[in-house]
A = this chain, B = another copy of it.
Amino acid sequence: MTVSLRERRRQQTARDIQLATLKLAVERGLENVTTEEIAASAGVSTRTFFNYYVNKETAAIGAPPAFRKEDKNALCDGTGALRNDLKRFLHRHMENLTKDEPILRMIGTVLRSNEKARGILEGFIIMERDELTEHLCRRVQNRQVAAALASSATDAIARTIHLWEQEKNLTLGAALDMVWDGLIESSHLLASTSKDA
């Protein structure tokens, strides 16, 4: 854990800038905030702001937590029913997000109104999903099946966060359970050729 002073400062500045960005963005909307203001609020020059982030949208999003390698491996090397392994995987990831709930909430606010920020996050999610697809290919053989499962996973996460943002008194874990039940039910519907439900 030899983190140099430089490195620590870099991390701190990056975070300072992100927090300054989100704070101002939540107050008045990211569109109505200039990079100059953000930089001033974070205590750096405008030029330095751009040394850290290529634009204010990226500054707002920061570096979202990716799927952890251990969790991905546990998912595709799992021995139980895929369904259970996937549920565990998702819960693990939600715990991972719980650490930064305030930031998550602020980012949600920004995403709702800012197209560019959405696109940046979307790009990140696509990468994560593609990687998850790759991993799942080791477990399910058929690429399209793996892709469908990976989509279900990332979508479930998105819907979970969305639900959690709307329903005040709901933890991320509880929201995931609701979303998960919906996913399973929808799978039953799609797996069946009878006209029930």
The residues of A with any CB-CB pair to B shorter than 8 Å are 79-84, 86, 114-120, 122-123, 140, 142-149, 151-152, 155-156, 159, 163, 178-179, 181-195, 197
Evaluate contact between B122 and A144: CB separation under 8 angstroms.
Answer: no
Evaluate contact between B192 and A142: CB separation under 8 angstroms.
Answer: no
Q: State the Cβ distance, A75 to closest chain B Cβ, in Å.
A: 13
Evaluate contact between A189 and B149: CB separation under 8 angstroms.
Answer: yes
Evaluate contact between B191 and A81: CB separation under 8 angstroms.
Answer: no
Q: Is the interface of A mostly helix, strand, loop or mixed?
A: helix
Evaluate contact between A144 and B197: CB separation under 8 angstroms.
Answer: no
Q: Using Cβ atoms and an 8 Å threshold, which residues of chain B touch A84?
A: 193
Evaluate contact between B144 and A159: CB separation under 8 angstroms.
Answer: yes
Q: Using Cβ atoms and an 8 Å threshold, which residues of chain B touch A123?
A: 115, 118
Evaluate contact between B149 and A186: CB separation under 8 angstroms.
Answer: yes
Q: With contacts A145-B182, A148-B187 known, what are 19 further pairs, Cβ within 8 A?
A: A83-B189, A83-B190, A84-B193, A86-B190, A115-B120, A116-B119, A118-B122, A118-B123, A142-B182, A144-B159, A144-B163, A145-B185, A145-B189, A147-B182, A151-B155, A152-B155, A187-B190, A187-B191, A188-B191
